[in-house]
Amino acid sequence: MFNFLTNLFGKNKPWHERPTVIALFELIQFRDRMRQENLHDTATLPTTDDVTQPQPSEDGSHSKIRTADGSFNDLNDPKMGRVGSRFGRNVPLSKVYPDEANLLNPNPREISRKLLGRDEFVPATTLNLLAGAWIQFQTHDWFAHGNDQQGEKYELPLAEDDPWPQEHRPLQVQKTEADATRLSGDTSGPPTYINKVTHWWDASQIYGSDQQTIDKLRTHSDGKMILAENDLLPLDPEIGVAMAGFNDNWWVGLAMLHTLFVKEHNHLCDRLKQQYPHWNDEQLFQRARLINAALLAKIHTVEWTPAILGHPALQIGMRGNWWGLLGQEFKDSFGRIGDGELLSGIVGSPTDQHAAPYYLTEEFVAVYRMHPLMPDEFKFYSVKDGRLLVTKDLFEVSGKRSRSLEEEISMADLFYSFGISHPGAITLHNYPKLLQTLVRDNGEVFDLAAVDILRDRERGVPRYNDFRELIGRKRVNSFEEITDNSEWAKELREVYNNDINTVDLMVGMFAENPPKGFGFSDTAFRVFILMASRRLKSDRFFTKDYTAETYTQLGLDWIDDNSMLTVLRRHYPSLQRTLLGVENGFAPWKKI
């Protein structure tokens, strides 16, 4: 019946041009097929004998809380998804061997200069800048590769007319740190890489992925986390940025979101203590963390995603992931209807790993390369009267410099300024100039756009045309099939020497004509369809253990009843005027 309706209402049309109901069910078909065909396990490749096994806690708490390192989320496979485990793959392992002979061909630096660099800022006008900060905030929870500090470096050739700073030549890039868990000398599979944070959606960017970090961030009183006297995060004196579970690549956008959700954690501790006055510090902390992490996941699922993917089928589908197609009111009133996802959502359904144990994947990392969202210039305004306070560039709001900005401008003014500003569109020729000559606090200088290209090649992520085919899309036969921008097609042809099959994945995704209302490409979206659901479906704290016993009824109600907007209003009430009439916290706010 579904195939009949598909043919009747949109034969030969892409899914996003079909009627909403047909498009929605086609997306469900995409996801179900990819669950079987696009999950591939790297953990089966030979492992050294000295990899430590996680040990259960003596009091059994490991079965009731999110552990520091992510172990015991799956009680039958306690290693699954923990920090230090391998990235999986969304394409067969036979297809992810890096093409060593062509790692620098075409030259990533030339691709950066000729195809990626921002000519002028192209805004994503349906979003506010919080949407750009949010996705980095989330990716810091999900994945982090390490760089090989001691090994060889890649050296990128520089053209005669390349303006790269003379004092920082040659342009070198450290290799990704090798997987130390692989059996020495093993060549039975492609190279694998290690995730430095937990794979789970557990707010590790706030709390940390090891017990030492978690302990350092806690007050050890009433379950709360440390805030300085000025209501900002405590400063790490060694590196000059805020103390956080993950504080690499720090800038003011991250500082804002980390501060907001540390405040939310502490507020949750107060509410839990009122309800359960006999609970100790550890009980309050662990329950507040569970609730806070789930609230973040819900905000991402039903607010951020529909904001950046503005298609009617996605509006329904993402809410369906959380509550089911019957909707929140039905689920709140009558509970689940059976164990299936369709009617009652993934949340609270049985856990399922589908074709492979749960790990985030290298291809998932690749499709979340969204640096064009970042502007080069930031204007900060007063939420009280709309007055322009100061203008800063990207360098001035990042690294050690972010703290002075937080002290100079109130958090409410910072959030207001982001709420009325736009991020950049994720396209060619819109990569931030300042990220193409990125100066880090340690003095290192590199071209992040070139590094993005090189990393996908190094880690064996297939190039654009192969990738399309491996995830179920048709190959393209010409550059004009990628983009209807004739100038871009010409530039792609020149840079890639008229070889359509050498176009890099990120470049192809940036060049694509996205579906109407989409903030990124349909190719990236295919991996999103799979992994957005998987991050929920594989995690027992979103599935079989999403219960009042685990979260408390207060916690479940809190997650249901709150949103990005309620969190903002609670902690920064002066934002109320600018949020009047705003339905999604990541859409543009009202200017004062």
pLDDT at 6 over 60: no
Q: What is the pLDDT of residue 152?
A: 87
> Bridge-partner residues for 253, per DSSP?
none
pLDDT at 487 over 60: yes
CATH top class, domain 55-426+434-458+532-575: mainly alpha
Q: How confident is the model at residue 7 (pLDDT cuts 50, 70, 90)?
A: low
Q: What is the pLDDT of residue 444?
A: 85
Q: How confident is the model at residue 237 (pLDDT cuts 50, 70, 90)?
A: confident
**What is the tens place of the pLDDT at every residue in 47-76?**
987 778 899 999 999 999 999 999 999 999
> Bridge-partner residues for 225, per DSSP?
218
pLDDT at 392 over 70: yes
Cβ neighbours around 401 below 10 Å, total:
17
**What is the tens place of the pLDDT at every residue in 492-550?**
999 999 999 999 999 999 999 999 999 999 999 999 999 999 999 999 999 999 999 99
Query: Are the C-beta atoms of residues 360 and 531 closer than 8 Å to each other?
Result: yes
Q: What is the pLDDT of residue 518?
A: 94
Q: What is the pLDDT of residue 257?
A: 98
pLDDT at 1 over 70: no
Average model confidence (pLDDT) across the chain: 95
Burial class (CB in 10 A: 0-12, 13-18, 19+), 235: middle
Q: What is the number of residues in the chain?
A: 592
Q: Can you point out the beta strands (E) in 279-347?
A: none
The Cα 107–Cα 449 span in angstroms is 12
**What is the tens place of the pLDDT at every residue in 436-462?**
998 888 888 999 999 999 999 999 999
Q: What is the pLDDT of residue 229?
A: 86
For residues 372-391, one letter each, b for 16 or more C-beta atoms within 10 angstroms of the residue's C-beta and e for the rest, the string is bbbbeebebbbbeeeeeeee
Query: Are the C-beta atoms of residues 216 and 255 closer than 8 Å to each other?
Result: no
**What does pTM read for this prediction?**
0.96
pLDDT at 323 over 80: yes
The Cα 561–Cα 272 span in angstroms is 16
For residues 333-367, one letter each, b for 16 or more C-beta atoms within 10 angstroms of the residue's C-beta and e for the rest, the string is eeebeeeebebbbbbbbebebbebbbbbbbbbbbb
Burial class (CB in 10 A: 0-12, 13-18, 19+), 219: middle
Burial class (CB in 10 A: 0-12, 13-18, 19+), 574: middle
Percentage, residues of the chain above pLDDT 90 = 92
**What is the tens place of the pLDDT at every residue in 127-185?**
999 999 999 999 999 999 999 888 889 999 999 999 999 999 999 999 999 999 999 88
Decide if 16 is catalytic: no
pLDDT at 4 over 60: no
Of 16, 40, 62, 140, which residue is the catalytic one? 140
Q: How confident is the model at residue 2 (pLDDT cuts 50, 70, 90)?
A: very low
Q: How confident is the model at residue 187 (pLDDT cuts 50, 70, 90)?
A: confident
**Residues carrying CATH 1.10.640.10, the chain:** 55-426+434-458+532-575
Q: How far is CA 236 from CA 141, 216, 228, 247, in A?
A: 20, 11, 12, 10
**What Rg do the C-alpha atoms of the chain give, in angstroms?**
23
Q: How far is CA 588 from CA 302, 309, 422, 516, in A?
A: 17, 15, 8, 19
**What is the tens place of the pLDDT at every residue in 85-101?**
999 999 999 999 999 99
Q: What is the pLDDT of residue 185?
A: 84
Between 144-153, 194-203, 255-264, 559-568, the lowest mean confidence (pLDDT) is in 144-153
